[in-house]
Amino acid sequence: MFADDLKLYHEIRSEDNCVQLQLAIDHVASWCEGNYLSLNVSKCNVVSFRRKRDRIECDYSVGGQVPSRSDKVRDLGVVFDQQLFFVPHITQLISSGSKIYGFVIRNGKYFNNSSTIIFILFNTLMIRVRT
C-alpha cells in the first residue's frame, strides 16, 4: 500500500528551517513505515516556491534517497510553478480547449450543422478541460 498525495510545506528563511523540514520528512517516512505504507521516492518532488530570485537551496532525502527537484508541480489538476504564477496552467487549459474546439468544428459537419448538437458536444468535452 502507498501513502498517496502527501505534501509538506515549510517556509525556508535559514538553514535551520531546512533542518526542520528534513526532520518533518523523516517523521512522515517513519510514520509511513510504522503503518506499513511505502513512499515511492521516484514520484516525490521538491519544489521551492518563491517570488524572489535569491533562495536557500536545501537537499532533502526520503529514506536515504534523494527526490527529484522540479520547477512546477500539478496538484488537483492545477499546475503551480516556482513563482506561483499560473501561466503553465492557463497555457495548458487554452491548448486543451483549442484542440477540443478544432475537433468539434472539424466533425460538426457530420451533424447536419445542427447548432444544438454541436453546442452540447462542445460543452460536454469542455467539462474535462475545466475540471
Please provide the average confidence, as pLDDT, over all residues in the chain: 84
SS3 state at 75: strand
The residue ranges of every structural domain in the chain are 15-71, 87-130
Q: What is the pLDDT of residues 81-97, one digit of tens each?
A: 888 888 888 888 888 88
Look at strands 45-46 and 68-69 and give their pairing.
parallel
Cβ atoms 25, 44 nearer than 8 A = no
Categorize the per-residue pLDDT at 18 as very low, low, confident or very high, splitting at 50, 70 and 90: very high
Categorize the per-residue pLDDT at 62 as very low, low, confident or very high, splitting at 50, 70 and 90: very high
Full-model pTM: 0.67
Cβ atoms 87, 80 nearer than 8 A = no
Lookup result for grid cell 520528512: 25
